[in-house]
Structure 1
Amino acid sequence: MQFRFTHPLRWIALMGLMVSTAGCYENDQPGVIDPLLPGTANFTKYVAVGNSLTAGYADNGLYRDGQLNSYPSILAQQFRLVRGGSTFVQPLFTPEQAAGTGYLKLTSLPTAASGGLPVTAQVAPQAVRGLVNGKPLFTKFIGPLNNLGVPGIRMSDTQTPGYGSAAGNPYFERLLPDVSALRTYQQFVGDNVTDATFFSCFMGNNDALGYATTGGVTPFTPTALFTANYNALISTLNANGRQGVVIGIPKVTTAAFFQTVTLTQVIAKIAAANPAVTALVIQAPLAPGGIRASKTGDLLLLAQQAAYATIGRTDVGTKIGPYGLSLTNPLANELVLDAEEVAALNAKIDEYNGIMKAQADSRGLAWVDVSTLTNQLSTGLAQNGVNFSLSYILGGVMSLDGIHFTPAGYALLANEIIKSINAKYSSTIPLVDATRYRKVLVQP
């Protein structure tokens, strides 16, 4: 089965826009406010707490170029313009191990054989030091850090002893000495913020994203546990009145991961051979009866393209009737984020954001509503003559995994954070020019 890419493509003309010079550009936004002042904030030592987005994860991997262009690195660069400040230390992979954990690269343009979608390939990891139960262990980076981002971490994990052991999260394990493997992330944060003067906290995404990317199979973090762990983490970060910024969770279903392969495309392809087909039959646990016909609002997942190619076969699923077209053989729950699950997801994100914003407001911290940015990108955002959007590949903002940002996307996120900091602390930190950061990763 082939799927047509959703956006009109002028690929040859636009390929040159996908890659531009990556970057450390300071004070490069036209019309910046002068003089540059910190206001009431102290940016002398900045520490960033968070998950994959904080670490600079992109293209389904953690690698050096993504780390160098993480939003905390961009923020630290801008903070130095108003106050100097110390070196911002990230757990970078070395130039010799620049591929890090491995990542996706774009290898060819859409073709009929690729179903109208760009073709990606996996770049082999270079920073694997061994395996434990088939899971990789990555090259260690031990010592004090400013970027504490750990891909995959949820609020439910922050007080779990052993989360940084060989059997736990390998991204956290690489940051801990072996003798400290039982230290929790909460303790790790405490170790690294002792003399910090400013922090950012971008947590909670994975507590909702896991549910979204598995079609509603992975459960949400219980609200009580989320609240207790988040309040404890913010208490550590805000100890002795330390200033900072809290970043909320965006409505994740606007990401390319959920908007690239669509029901309309899939049904049209099937109907070309079988005009009687006007909908799929899906498992929808939150709907009455648990099985229903697909409808507007159901979302397909970019990572499940191969599974959608099996629709209509009788050797898949229950094998009783054509897969995804019969009440006796519905499309599996994990392959569709159905409309009822989207509603549950958005309600949970609102709940998590309410918990986090309440803490930010009560402690006098800056708050960032990332939905302001994603709403702009949903319809298109122009900067310095370049258009950005959430569209897969051509939008320039979403990396090849459809969830995480490109360096240009991280620059746009950094600008949104800077705006909130400036408003809260009366600082005049300049924005960066996102057009001077790399977009989609293209390699031969």
Structure 2
Amino acid sequence: MKNFIKYSFIPLFGAVVSCTYDFPADETQVPTAGEANFAKMVVIGDGIAAGFMDGALYDRGQGNSFAVRLAEQMSLVDGGAFTQPSINSVNGYYGMGPNNTILGRLILKTTNGVTSPAPIGPGELPTAYGGNKAELNNFSAPSLTLGLALIPQTGGPNVPQNPAFNPYYARFASNPGASTPIGDAAQALGSSGTFFSFWLGSSDVLGYAIGGASNPLILTSDSDFTQRYSLALGAMLSANPDAKGAVANIPNLNVLPYFNLVPWNALPLDQGTAAAVNQGFAAYNGGLVQLKNMGLINEEERVLRTINFVAGQNGFLMSDESLTDLSQFGLPSIRQSKASDKATLTLAQALGQPIGGNSQVVRGVSYPVEDVYVLTPAEQTQIQTKIDTFNGIISAAVQADAQRLVLVDINAFLNRVLQGQVNFGGAVLNASIIPPNGGFSVDGVHPNGRAHGFIANEFINAINAKWGSNIPLTNPNAIPGNDIPVQ
């Protein structure tokens, strides 16, 4: 079977557009710190707080993080210097390409009329931070779960026996293999720190979701999340009893373009191919009828599992572990995707590709799409329940120390973005990767630079309301979002 897949899951772009907007300045503001002290802010978090964008940590993304923008605005109310462990990489590291080439961050690329994310080359592997570690303010690292933030193995050694190793933390760890991200952040806060930003917890559930809910071992349990969150936040609060802090929560699954860019019916077939594939599933469909007549499955499941391709756009063949196990009858747990399923962005490059070079075995057609590429409705419910539970734990932790902490409700903010309710100076921010208004970077998970400006303002608004501060808002419209596609 030939490779016949050709589809565009991102709308094509028209004329070249600018990614910045005019912003009306408010000269009536009188910046004040209020009841807070911003002389030294310490930041601890995962990829968003580190400035991870476009599937990589690289210079422009790191320099446009909300933490940098927040520190810049705090400098107007006597905030001090803010030092990050600079990555010193123009393109960062996305992954390995053919012939062991190092690929850089994702960009939007148009090929044969199809626009999609693609890695730029070359990239660079993360290297050790060469600055003074004692002067750092930001201790965030991509993929940092609460568990990893609390253990020394996160900093090394980099050996197969240490799956906890995080190269992004190891490069600036105060004592690789002995120190911890939380320990380093708490040390900095205890050493003349006055304020902190705490945004951990997202990686405890979104890492599982991004992998198609295929690895339950990486999904943090409710009890572990509660204990670890208490330990991590408690370490920061104990480091300096006078320091105040802003705590952010976890965004909902539905706001992430990563799960919305590849449609459920992304598989185009012509009439001849559809007929040939259907013939191959005739025995499978007949077996379903027999098992239904035997009372082993109901009519609803028989219809759900029946494979029927048509000329035009089709749902792809996929595995579904929630189906009744019929393997003893020689029938696999497969079906075609439905509108209620969510495909991951990574499926864009895998769908319709031959397996093992065999043109007769094609992913999504004669070979089911693996669990890593799709979220079933049951998995979506499981993940959203986790997010709701974790956000409840975060909210309770903030309320338990309400004099010193304020909740920055990023979840509510991104829900407003999804509903088209967020703009600045008349310029809208939406939940897409399409410039100029898209708020997510090309990886479909992490906000882009312009969205980080909006996020910084969410922090500022929460801080100002809590402690009577008057930190001026930043101008997100002057921060670059996603670049226009290249040919």
**TM-score (norm. length: structure 1):** 0.84
* Residue of structure 2 in register with 1:362 after alignment: 400
**Corresponding letter in the other structure for 2:430:** S
Q: Following TM superposition, by how much is the alpha carbon of 1:138 offset from its aligned partner in structure 2, in angstroms?
A: 4.2
Q: Following TM superposition, by how much is the alpha carbon of 1:396 offset from its aligned partner in structure 2, in angstroms?
A: 3.0
Deviations 1:293-313 (A, max 9, x none): 422221111122121123899
Q: Residue 409 of structure 1 aligns to a residue in which SS?
A: helix
**Residue 336 in 1 paired to residue 335 in 2?**
no
Q: Residue 120 of structure 2 aligns to a residue in which SS?
A: strand
Contact map agreement 1:40 1:425 (CA 8 A) in 2: yes
* Residue of structure 2 in register with 1:308 after alignment: 351
* Residue of structure 1 in register with 2:301 after alignment: none
- Separation in 1, partners of 2:351, 2:18: 31
Q: Following TM superposition, by how much is the alpha carbon of 1:271 offset from its aligned partner in structure 2, in angstroms?
A: 6.2
**Corresponding letter in the other structure for 1:157:** L
Which 5+ residue runs of structure 2 have no aligned equivalent?
95-103, 159-164, 276-307, 326-332
Select which of 82, 85, 92 maps to 1:91: 85
- Separation in 2, partners of 1:383, 1:210: 31
- Separation in 2, partners of 1:295, 1:400: 25
Q: Following TM superposition, by how much is the alpha carbon of 1:32 offset from its aligned partner in structure 2, in angstroms?
A: 6.9
Q: Residue 246 of structure 1 aligns to a residue in which SS?
A: strand
* Residue of structure 2 in register with 1:132 after alignment: none
* Residue of structure 2 in register with 1:51 after alignment: 46
Q: Residue 118 of structure 1 aligns to a residue in which SS?
A: strand
* Residue of structure 1 in register with 2:260 after alignment: 259
* Residue of structure 2 in register with 1:424 after alignment: 466
* Residue of structure 2 in register with 1:389 after alignment: 430
Q: Following TM superposition, by how much is the alpha carbon of 1:232 offset from its aligned partner in structure 2, in angstroms?
A: 1.0
Select which of 131, 140, 148 maps to 1:149: 140
Q: Following TM superposition, by how much is the alpha carbon of 1:241 offset from its aligned partner in structure 2, in angstroms?
A: 4.3
Q: Structure 2 vs 1, CA of residues 287 and 201 (structure 1 numbering), >3 Å: closer, same or farther? A: farther
Q: Following TM superposition, by how much is the alpha carbon of 1:161 offset from its aligned partner in structure 2, in angstroms?
A: 2.4
Contact map agreement 1:105 1:443 (CA 8 A) in 2: no
**Residue 188 in 1 paired to residue 178 in 2?**
no
* Residue of structure 1 in register with 2:300 after alignment: none
Select which of 370, 373, 385 maps to 2:413: 373
- Separation in 1, partners of 2:182, 2:454: 29
* Residue of structure 1 in register with 2:209 after alignment: 212
Which 5+ residue runs of structure 1 have no aligned equivalent?
129-135
Aligned residue runs from structure 1 range 13-412, under 5 A: 13=15, 15-18=16-19, 20=20, 30-31=25-26, 34-82=29-77, 84-94=78-88, 97-101=89-93, 103-106=104-107, 108-109=109-110, 111-112=112-113, 116-118=114-116, 120-126=118-124, 128=125, 137-144=127-134, 145-167=136-158, 168-177=165-174, 179-194=175-190, 195-219=192-216, 220-239=219-238, 240-264=241-265, 266-267=266-267, 269-270=268-269, 274=274, 276-277=308-309, 278-289=314-325, 291-310=334-353, 315=358, 323-325=363-365, 329-364=367-402, 365-380=405-420, 381-394=422-435, 395-412=437-454
* Residue of structure 1 in register with 2:476 after alignment: 434
Deviations 1:251-272 (A, max 9, x none): 13321211111113x14x1366
* Residue of structure 2 in register with 1:2 after alignment: 6
My pick for the range that moved more, 408-417 or 393-402, is 393-402
Deviations 1:59-92 (A, max 9, x none): 111111111111111001111212x122011111
Q: Following TM superposition, by how much is the alpha carbon of 1:210 offset from its aligned partner in structure 2, in angstroms?
A: 1.2
- Separation in 2, partners of 1:285, 1:110: 36
- Separation in 1, partners of 2:119, 2:149: 33
Q: Residue 460 of structure 2 aligns to a residue in which SS?
A: helix
Q: Structure 2 vs 1, CA of residues 299 and 36 (structure 1 numbering), >3 Å: closer, same or farther? A: same
- Separation in 1, partners of 2:315, 2:61: 40
Q: CA RMSD in A?
A: 2.8
- Separation in 2, partners of 1:282, 1:55: 35
**Corresponding letter in the other structure for 1:165:** G
Q: Following TM superposition, by how much is the alpha carbon of 1:212 offset from its aligned partner in structure 2, in angstroms?
A: 1.0
Q: What is the number of residues matched between the two proteins?
A: 413
**Corresponding letter in the other structure for 1:74:** R
**Corresponding letter in the other structure for 1:190:** A
**Corresponding letter in the other structure for 1:90:** Q
My pick for the range that moved more, 393-402 or 29-38, is 29-38
Contact map agreement 1:54 1:202 (CA 8 A) in 2: yes
Q: Structure 2 vs 1, CA of residues 10 and 157 (structure 1 numbering), >3 Å: closer, same or farther? A: closer
Q: Structure 2 vs 1, CA of residues 308 and 419 (structure 1 numbering), >3 Å: closer, same or farther? A: same
Contact map agreement 2:127 2:171 (CA 8 A) in 1: yes
Contact map agreement 1:137 1:166 (CA 8 A) in 2: no
Contact map agreement 2:262 2:347 (CA 8 A) in 1: no
My pick for the range that moved more, 391-400 or 117-126, is 117-126
Contact map agreement 1:297 1:339 (CA 8 A) in 2: yes
- Separation in 1, partners of 2:154, 2:197: 22
Q: Residue 105 of structure 2 aligns to a residue in which SS?
A: strand
Deviations 1:139-182 (A, max 9, x none): 544412111111111112122222101411111111125x5422
- Separation in 1, partners of 2:155, 2:233: 20
- Separation in 1, partners of 2:150, 2:198: 16
- Separation in 1, partners of 2:153, 2:321: 34
Deviations 1:356-402 (A, max 9, x none): 11111111111122122212221333322323211222343111111
- Separation in 2, partners of 1:53, 1:241: 26
Contact map agreement 1:200 1:244 (CA 8 A) in 2: yes
**TM-score (norm. length: structure 2):** 0.77
Question: Between Structure 1 and Structure 2, whose CA radius of gyration is higher?
Answer: 2
Q: Structure 2 vs 1, CA of residues 40 and 294 (structure 1 numbering), >3 Å: closer, same or farther? A: same
